[in-house]
Amino acid sequence: MEFLEILYQSIILIISFDYEVYEIILLSLRISGLATFLSLIFGVMTAYFLVINKSKINNYLIIFLNSLMGIPPVVVGLIVYFIFSKGGLLGVFSILYTPTAMVIAQIILVYPIISSLLYEVFYDFWNRYRDTLRLFNMPGLAILFTFIKNSFFMILIIVLTGFGRAISEVGAVMIVGGNIDHYTRVMTTAIALETSVGNLQKATSLGLILVLISMITYSIIYKFNKRKNI
């Protein structure tokens, strides 16, 4: 009965558009969305460079990117913390415990995933259409545009995969963001905090929204995967 009461109160918080709950949700979407978008830009450039410019060192770069796909989030948070702390290499920018630091941490987590998956898609595309593209003497930007146009659904799936990774992350953003109320508190860090202080209604409401966002994200991935295979 206690669980049902908590669940009921959580749903009330959601449907009543509680300000604090939706402030946290919107901040989470903004930070993860920006991190994913920037990771996509860097990932496209990286994939293009690795496929078009073949060299021995590229193989090591690909292995390095693939290995970063499994890097623990807390390690990423620690690295960003040391870099932007007062005594760190880039401490002069004073961005620790800000949304900017959280975006940087999420980029480090998401970029290897997006760039590695884009490389595989671009590599397959280049091997199939390389002779045709060279026949028309297409410039680099035209090749990149053709790749994006012909692989749009796969790119969208990769982007959604990266976004799902970003928005569900807790360790790195907790370390570099500090979980500051009304400033750096996102859904995952808020759930951890509210659970620890016994505010289970708020934690559950945020958990329900996070699960819903994840379900929507991976439902879209499934739909586009199915469409791609038709």
**230: pLDDT strictly greater than 60:** no
What are the residues whose beta carbons fall under 8 Å from the beta carbon of 179, sequence distance 6 or more? Answer: 185, 189, 190, 192, 193
Q: Return the sign of the alpha-carbon dihedral for residues 28, 30, 35, 39.
A: positive
Residue-averaged pLDDT of the chain: 90
**134: pLDDT strictly greater than 80:** no
Average of per-residue pLDDT across 150-172: 91
**227: pLDDT strictly greater than 70:** no
Residue 154 lies in a domain: yes
- pLDDT of 85 reads 92
Residue 8 lies in a domain: no
* Residues 102 and 177 sit within 8 Å (Cβ to Cβ): yes
CATH number of the domain encompassing residue 102: 1.10.3720.10
How far, in Å, CA of 186 to CA of 168, rounded? Answer: 10
Q: What's the number of domains the chain is made of?
A: 1
* Residues 177 and 193 sit within 8 Å (Cβ to Cβ): no
Residue 1: in which H helix or E strand, if any? none
- pLDDT of 22 reads 94
Residue 119 lies in a domain: yes
> pTM value?
0.91
pLDDT tens string 81-125 = 999 998 889 999 999 999 999 999 999 999 999 999 999 999 998
Residue 143 lies in a domain: yes
State which residues form the domain around 52.
Answer: 31-190+207-229
How far, in Å, CA of 126 to CA of 36, rounded? Answer: 24
pLDDT tens string 31-51 = 999 999 999 999 999 998 898
DSSP alpha helix (H) spans, 16-170: 19-52, 56-68, 73-84, 99-135, 140-150, 152-167
**Secondary structure (H, E, C), 53-68:** CCCHHHHHHHHHHHHH
